[in-house]
Amino acid sequence: MKRELYTAESIEKLVHEDGQTTLVLGKSDIVTPLARDRARELGLTLVWPEAEDRDLPAWSGAAQAGASPSPAPAPAPASPAPARDDLASRVRQAVANALGQETPAAQPTPAAAPRVMRVDGRRVEMDPFPFNIRRPEMDVRLADVITAEDGSPMAAGFMTLHKGQFPWTLTYDEIEFVIEGELHIITGDGVTVGLPGDVIFIPKGSKIQFATPGWAKFLYITYPAEWAG
């Protein structure tokens, strides 16, 4: 059976020229990560085949559908952290005011116990950037995959940019690993260009412009984990 390679350009052709809304993939077909993103953006449904062969190329349709050599043992469930009860806090405050006493201190929420984690980057869904950067044409998207809730002092996630640039000030240290496209980090000292496979370090306090001449997808790692405050 002929193996098909689907890129972002071929996905756009299927939608805009052929009018397809569903693409049924063969077991050996290859879909690039950028093509997956474009299919989602254009409303093209990708139908993955059932994985019958465990020895598949990493980017084949069956492998992307979730084939795995052996399932990892499920980690022992962690004790759920108690949710903050705002009503109880207000009641304690009212009682303390009535008695002329100080408000009893709320017990700190215990952090999750750190553990080994694996994130399947091929299945991560990107959400719109949660901050107003006033650049709607850029379609900036982001997905946090490791956070402080996982007991990690660092955070990690994926980010995508379309053509353009926007300003950002870092209140944390950050490392970028470029996956696709071309990422530009603009500072007062010039432009640092990252290509697929490149690693860029941005120190805390930097005032930068995130930019790309066309498209960029990268993995970010921040310290501390609460990069968004």
CATH superfamily for 124-223 is: Jelly Rolls (2.60.120.10)
According to DSSP, the β-strands at 30-31 and 5-6 are: parallel
Kind plus residue range of the DSSP H or E element containing 192: strand 190-194
Cis before 224? omega within 30: yes
Dihedral sign for Cα atoms in the order 149, 227, 160, 58: negative
pLDDT in tens, 26-49: 877 888 888 888 888 888 898 877
pLDDT in tens, 88-98: 666 667 666 66
Task: Give the domain ranges of the chain.
Answer: 5-64, 124-223
- Bridge partners for 5 per DSSP: 30
pLDDT in tens, 103-150: 555 555 555 678 898 998 888 988 998 888 888 888 899 999 999 888
Name the residue with tokens 């240290």: 173
Q: What pLDDT does residue 193 have?
A: 96
Q: What pLDDT does residue 135 have?
A: 87
pLDDT in tens, 151-202: 899 999 999 999 999 999 999 999 999 999 999 999 999 999 999 999 999 9
Q: Which tokens sit at 217?
A: 């997808």
Name the residue with tokens 């469930």: 77
96 and 88 in contact (C-beta within 8 Å)?
Answer: no
Q: What pLDDT does residue 59 have?
A: 46
Phi, psi of 92 (to 5 degrees): -60, -40
